[in-house]
Chains A and B, each alone.
Chain A
C-alpha cells in the first residue's frame, strides 16, 4: 500500500510546489538548456508518477503483482478496477491532447504559411525571409520540417539598423535550427491534457521564456549582445497596436538585463541540474517497475 501513496505524493509535489519554487528562482535563467531539460523531466515525471500511482494502487488492492485475481463480488476488487479505469482515462486524455495539439498546430501553421507566401515579399538576406508590408513592428518565425519562414514587417525594419536586424534574424534562425517549437509543443500538449483547475501555467510559461533565452544566447555568440539588446528594446518599446497587446508581465526585461551582464557560463550548475532531471525521471519509473520486476523474478524463479 506504500508505493501508490508515495507515487501520488510525488505526482502532487511535481505538479504543484516544485514548479512554483523553480519558477520563482533566478538560477534556471543562467543555464537555460539544462533548465529546459529539468522542466521536461518534471512534467514527464509528474505524468509517470500519476499513472504509476493508479497502476500501483490497483495492484495493492487486487492481489499481488504477478498473481492477479479478480472477484466481482468483492468491493475491494471493484474499487481496484475503478482506479485502473480512471488511470486509463488519464492516459487516454493525454494521448488525445497530444494528437489534438499536433494536428491543430500544423493546420494553423500551414494556413499561416499560405497567407505569408501570397502577402509577403521574399528577401534574399537570409533563406526563408519574408517581408510583410505592415506598419506594426513584428518579427517571428514559422517553423517547418522544410521551408521554414522568418517574417519581418516593414515597421520592424524601419526601427532596426542593419546589425540589429541581423541579430534578430540570428535569434529567429536559432529557434528554427534547434526546433524550439517542438519543445514548446510538448509542453502545450501536457498543458492542454489537464483540466484547467489542476494544471498550472508555470511549466509552459517558463519553457517559453527559456527557449527565448536559448535563442538570445545563440544570437549573442554570433552578433554580440549590444545589437540584440537594442533590437529587443526597439521592437518591444514601440507603441502597442490598437488591439491592446501589451502583456502584463513579460520576459523582455529579463532578456535585456541578461544581455547587459557577461555571457553566462555555469558548467557545474548545469551538470547538477541535468543530474537532478535524470533522477526525477528514474524515481517514478523505478518505483513502478521494481515490484513488477520482483514479482516476475519470483514467478520465474
Chain B
C-alpha cells in the first residue's frame, strides 16, 4: 500500500457512488463537479480514476461528442451479491484465493462450541 494508492482506491469508491446515484451516464466534468463539493480535487485525478474503473470493467463508457460518458457497469446491489457469493463460496479448489476466519456450522456443532467455550470461561473466571 503506497502513499498514493490509498487515496485513489478511496476515490474509486466515491466516484462509483456518484455513478450509482445518477440515472444518466456522466462526463468526467459532471463527476468532478459532484465531488468537489466534498473535497478539493483535480479534474485530471477524476479522469484517471474513471479511466481506471473502466479498465477494471466496473464502468462502461460511451462517446458523446468529444467527451466520454461513464456509467456504472452494474448496479451496486448486483456487485455486492457478486462479492458475497465469492466470499462465501467455500466449495472446491477456489478457496485458496480467500481465507475466511471461520465457516458457519450446524446447530449441533454450535451447541458443542458453546459448551467448549463455557469450559474455557469457567477455567479463566
Contact = CB atoms under 8 A, between A and B. Distances in A.
A226 B10 contact: no
B36 interface: no
Given A139-B101, A191-B93, A256 B83 contact: no
B88 A235 contact: no
A118 interface: yes
Contacts of A247: 90, 103-106
A225 B120 contact: yes
Interface stretch (B21-29, B37-45, B107-115): B107-115
A87 interface: no
B101 A140 contact: yes
A112 B13 contact: no
Interface string A181-223: 1001101100110000000000010001001000000000000
A151 to B, nearest CB: 7
Given A138-B88, A246-B106, A119 B13 contact: yes
Interface residues of A, number: 70
Contacts of B96: 101, 105, 181, 184-185, 187-188
A257 interface: yes
Interface in B29-74: 53, 56, 58
Interface in A216-242: 225-226, 229-233, 235-238, 240-241
B93 to A, nearest CB: 5
Contacts of B1: 127-128, 146-147
B116 A257 contact: yes
Contacts of B79: 115, 118-119
A192 B86 CA distance: 20
A117 B6 CA distance: 10
Nearest to A156: B101
Given A146-B2, A233-B113, A250-B105, A226 B95 contact: no
Contacts of B105: 236-237, 246-247, 250, 252-253
B117 A235 contact: no
A173 to B, nearest CB: 11
Given A118-B16, A121-B13, A127-B1, A252 B113 contact: yes
Nearest to B17: A118
Interface of B: 1-2, 5-6, 9-10, 12-13, 16, 53, 56, 58, 76, 79-80, 82-84, 86-88, 90, 93-106, 109-110, 112-114, 116-117, 119-121, 123-124
Given A232-B101, A237-B110, A247-B90, 12 more contacts: A109-B98, A112-B98, A118-B12, A118-B53, A119-B79, A119-B83, A181-B97, A231-B101, A248-B106, A253-B105, A257-B116, A260-B123
